[in-house]
Amino acid sequence: MMNKAIFLDRDGVLNHEIHDYITRLEDFEILDYQIAPLKRLFDEGFFLIIITNQGGIAKDRYTEETLAEMHKALNERFEEQGASIKHAYYCPHHPTVSEECNCRKPKSGMLLEAIETYNIDPAISVMIGDKPRDVEAANGAGVRGILISPDEQIDYDLVKKVLAGSEFNVLSEKMQAI
């Protein structure tokens, strides 16, 4: 049997977006209000998987160890509420300092790797992000995308509606109003 997943961008979706690299754990502000709707989906059997560009690593703004501390803090916060993040995929590259890669969104490499690793059915999965490149990366892997505004609460009912429907790109109500 194939698995289903909620793919999540990180900055602006799971933690507060500061419009610069988050380089220290002290500046990593988790959006606790995102946990409740994601726990409902987790309880329904969805894997919660982070898909995040972390180009600050290539630019030597922070280390992979610091990133691991942030992801550990995030997972602990979810586990306190009875949910769990299955995996946090990240692209450490940046086009100004790295070679071309297949993982940096809007490319779909991280999603494709997760789909293969965890036997995920893209047709019953969704990606939630706060930038068009998140949805583009999802669509490239055959996954539906929901575009929310930075720090907007994830709408459980919208996720369920998108999963039941045929639209591949959906804007949250807040994004539709912009």
**Catalytic residues, which ones?**
9, 11
Q: Pairing relation of β-strands 126-129 and 4-8?
A: parallel
Closest CA to 130 of 10, 21, 34, 5: 10
The identity of residue 177, as a single letter, is A
In angstroms, the Cα distances linking 152 to 33, 51, 55, 175 are: 9, 18, 23, 9
Structure token pair of residue 150: 């930075």
Pair 20, 55: CB distance under 8 Å: no
In angstroms, the Cα distances linking 178 to 40, 53, 107, 145 are: 28, 25, 26, 18
CA 171 to chain centre: 16
* Rounded Cα–Cα distance for residues 102 and 109 (Å): 5
Bond prior to 106 in cis (omega within 30° of 0): yes
